[in-house]
Amino acid sequence: MIEILKADLLSNTRGVIVHGCNAQGVMGSGVAAGVRARFPEAYRVYREAYLATGMNPITHGIPAGELNVMASSDSRCHLELGTITFAKVMPELWIVNGITQDFYGRNAQCFTNYDAVEQVFARTLELLEALDPNAQADLPLLFPKIGAGRGGGEWDKIAAIIEAVVPKNRRKVLFVVDEEPIDCR
């Protein structure tokens, strides 16, 4: 079951914050902009992964093995839908940047890809297992209405995906704000 808290998601010091990003290398608004401002390391790994893709002529010579990326179909680094980048930003706090949409905008369009949301949560669980299954087993998954704000997706569909992918014994906490920004939809 997803718990709901009315609080600032980014003020947590323990857990795994999972938020949605676009595949364009931009964290310019919403929760992503907050992550960029508060946790520069999380933005850095996202941006470096973007720069290392074939979509961008600037690669900065970053070896693929040095990026914190879980690629979707092979071992190359891509900002493909369903891919995650991640950073440990405090001793017990991880940020997962989940690529849940190709593009972004503010025109009431749905940019969120529901299959990508499913892959992001599945890969987040794989990441925690790979890091240290014992030490990471009790870290809660913390998230906003991922894909439903600026991404334009339907929260009920997204919540059902999270419930289906994440085991019942893993704590799942949705953080909501008092009032959604006017330009979210």
Q: Name the DSSP class of 67.
A: S
Taking the C-alpha atoms of residue 38 and residue 182, their distance in angstroms, rounded to an integer, is 23
Taking the C-alpha atoms of residue 124 and residue 141, their distance in angstroms, rounded to an integer, is 9
- Reported as a single tens digit per residue, the pLDDT across 137-148 is 688 999 999 988
Alpha helices in the chain (DSSP H): 30-38, 40-51, 114-131, 133-136, 155-165
Does the pLDDT at position 62 exceed 50?
no
Task: Report the pLDDT value the prediction gives residue 136, as an integer from 0 to 100.
Answer: 62
Task: Report the pLDDT value the prediction gives residue 109, as an integer from 0 to 100.
Answer: 67
- Reported as a single tens digit per residue, the pLDDT across 15-46 is 999 999 988 888 888 898 999 999 999 999 99
pTM here is 0.81
Taking the C-alpha atoms of residue 104 and residue 49, their distance in angstroms, rounded to an integer, is 18
- For 34, the 3-state DSSP assignment is helix
Query: Domain-by-domain residue ranges, the chain?
Result: 2-179
Does the pLDDT at position 10 exceed 90?
yes
Does the pLDDT at position 184 exceed 50?
no
- Reported as a single tens digit per residue, the pLDDT across 67-119 is 455 443 443 444 789 989 999 999 999 999 999 987 666 666 667 889 999 99
Task: Report the pLDDT value the prediction gives residue 181, as an integer from 0 to 100.
Answer: 46
Question: Minimal CA–CA distance to 109: which of 33, 20, 183, 26?
Answer: 183
Give the CATH class of 2-179: alpha beta
Task: Report the pLDDT value the prediction gives residue 179, as an integer from 0 to 100.
Answer: 52
- Reported as a single tens digit per residue, the pLDDT across 139-176 is 899 999 998 877 778 899 999 999 999 999 899 999 99
CB 96 within 8 A of CB 86: yes
